[in-house]
Chains A and B, each alone.
Chain A
């Protein structure tokens, strides 16, 4: 009872309400508070019983704790295109994984307002023996759509990806560009409020890249939120209106894209004009 009345008071007296409480459900698309992520992994790539027994005999523990994210906090409103940059192993992919819920945080809290769609790995195929159409259905069902919803989107997805007649062939026959285009097309057509993309701008040839950028601008205009992890600093500058630089699991800088890219280029000694990755070529 007492807690209830406390809430009522807070609602009426705006001035006493903490700022965080007030903004919580209004505009923010993603709100991350004191997020930390640690996990244990082994140095040996594939753990076998034999190597485990050997470790026990030698009283060795091959297990290594990785602190992928340390006390990360940020908040972005709807309509933001957030670029995330940082060196390999800085925690960019881990951040996306926690945002989608693939890896729950070790500490902290994440609030995601809206339907989320992800493009974390290129390719769409659950099973390369299956046709493009079948894989589209599986991808849609996996992300929680109904069969009818997927059917309604199918034509749009196929047309956008420019797969043509190949759509009925097993995806193992696709060129890498085709699978990338299909993956991108599936992700953006899931009607996401929030779209997370990991290094996917390299999808396809120059023509498709332009089309992909256009589609992302379109998503931005309809107040959708994009989080974009990329090594391509030019993509960050062209597309984003907010940027985060992750370094060793912590936020080193959170500001407008230009300042962040400038600071980052200075840090890694990559001239902004020189392409950071082949994708910019």
Chain B
């Protein structure tokens, strides 16, 4: 009874497409798919960066020029506003460390929100886990962040800021910012598909968050009546831990870790949930 069909020697791949359960794809399989395409994610990020650099005169140098300019602009701004009270090297390191990390977050948010809409029909008509798109935007922001951290360290060493093993706490602190950024990028990428005007709001949102986060000022400078910002600003804990460890070589307070961890993991879960539950509609919405 058995048919003698043409069978290849290699085991046949079998793909089964079935309706999603509870509107979500099969998660273990989805995560495995992303892992299998990790090279694609990093190549997409690097290729995008290459294409952006290709049309500029300084090209790759911008990776270092940008953070230097950014730091100088805010340094001048804050020195004038504070009448020169904030001018020391310790303040400058606090400012640079905060700004560079914030730049990473803000770039992830901006580019992440465009990541699905921006690739257009062509990419949307390919079959791959789309979560790679916001992830790759965050990777681009990370590749840009990396040289800026080198710039920071040179400044840190030249101005003889404290060096201690506690600075290693900056790694998990940055990890929280990274995870949070992926969550935000996935969330905003989805929202942008439905509400295209989001992109006009984002620059303002980004600026408000910057001013609400102790980057331009020290956390203890927040007046009593604005202390609530510590609890409503997701970035407070993460950036607090980042600055305390990297700049001042202190062990960040437990409350900063808890708040940072809750916000970052919570946002990652929310962002990926919203993204995955809407992903199947992207092909017809774009």
Contacts and interface: CB of A to CB of B under 8 A. Distances in A.
* A and B interact physically: yes
A97 B125 contact: yes
Interface residues of A, number: 61
A265 interface: no
A47 B47 contact: no
Contacts of B197: 48-50
B5 A101 contact: no
B195 interface: yes
A109 to B, nearest CB: 5
B54 A129 contact: yes
Contact of A105 (B18, B40, B128): B18
Interface string B26-53: 0000000000110110011001101110
B283 interface: yes
Contacts of A125: 122
Interface string A46-59: 11111010000000
B160 interface: no
A127 B44 CA distance: 9
B284 A112 contact: no
B73 interface: no
Given A127-B47, A127-B48, A121 B122 contact: yes
Contacts, number: 146
B280 A79 contact: no
Interface size class of B (residues with CB under 8 A): 35 or more
A141 B127 contact: no
B17 A48 contact: no
A27 B14 contact: no
A272 to B, nearest CB: 30
B40 A142 contact: yes
Contacts of B20: 104
A223 interface: yes
A40 interface: yes
Contacts of B40: 138, 141-142
A141 B45 CA distance: 13
A142 B37 contact: yes
A48 B126 contact: no
A121 B54 CA distance: 27
A259 interface: no
Interface in A41-87: 41, 46-50, 52, 66, 77-79
A277 B279 CA distance: 34
Contact of B47 (A112, A138, A193): A138
Interface of B: 1-3, 5-6, 8, 12-20, 25, 36-37, 39-40, 43-44, 47-48, 50-52, 54-55, 119, 121-128, 194-198, 280-281, 283-285
Interface of A: 14, 22-23, 25-27, 39-41, 46-50, 52, 66, 77-79, 97-116, 118, 120-121, 123, 125-127, 129-130, 134, 137-139, 141-144, 146-147, 170, 193, 223
21 contacts: A27-B3, A39-B281, A49-B197, A78-B5, A79-B6, A98-B17, A108-B18, A109-B18, A114-B12, A118-B127, A121-B125, A126-B47, A126-B119, A126-B123, A127-B48, A129-B51, A130-B47, A130-B51, A138-B44, A143-B128, A144-B36
Across the A-B interface, the 4 shortest Cβ-Cβ residue pairs: A129-B51, A141-B40, A27-B5, A120-B125
